[in-house]
Amino acid sequence: MLVAIVLLALLSGVVSFRSQSVAVRGRLMCGSSPASNVRIKLWEEDSGPDPDDLLDQGYTDQNGDFLLQGDTVELTPIDPVFKVYHDCDDGLKPGKRKVKFKIPQSYITNGKTPKKVFDIGTLNLETIFHVSLVWENYLSFHLFS
């Protein structure tokens, strides 16, 4: 009987892990020109010992458009973020600026295929985002030089 209880407890822990997915799309601009060939990544951020998961990555097309989607298996709700690595309007400074956007929880779906796509709209990368400006549960902007 004890063996059955232990097995049931182990199985219930395994079952509670679930596949969750998310997608984001939009357009990036640098002033009035499309921000083409800009590096973009979709991450699932974790705290503690569990490393962050790269869900998808790519580059914007010639019009600055993009679509990223991915999935991962987690015990708790995922914390997806969209990151942009760009050189728009930074002159001759070395390295790329990184802007991070938190994706709303309402766009996370159970399963491997997203049922909703978060449309982040058109973003002008000339914008100077304040460091650690957070809009709770929606978008967070971070600028790293």
Q: For the chain, give every domain's residue range.
A: 21-141
Per-residue pLDDT of the chain (145 residues; tens, 9 = 90+): 676 665 555 555 555 789 999 999 999 999 999 999 999 999 999 877 778 999 999 999 999 999 999 999 998 899 999 999 998 887 777 678 889 999 999 999 999 999 999 999 999 999 877 653 333 444 445 544 3
- Say which residues have a Cβ less than 8 Å from residue 133's Cβ, sequence separation at least 6: 140, 141
β 33-34/39-44 pair status = unpaired
pLDDT of residue 130: 63
**Structure token pair of residue 137:** 């549960």
Report the CATH number of the 21-141 domain: 2.60.40.3330
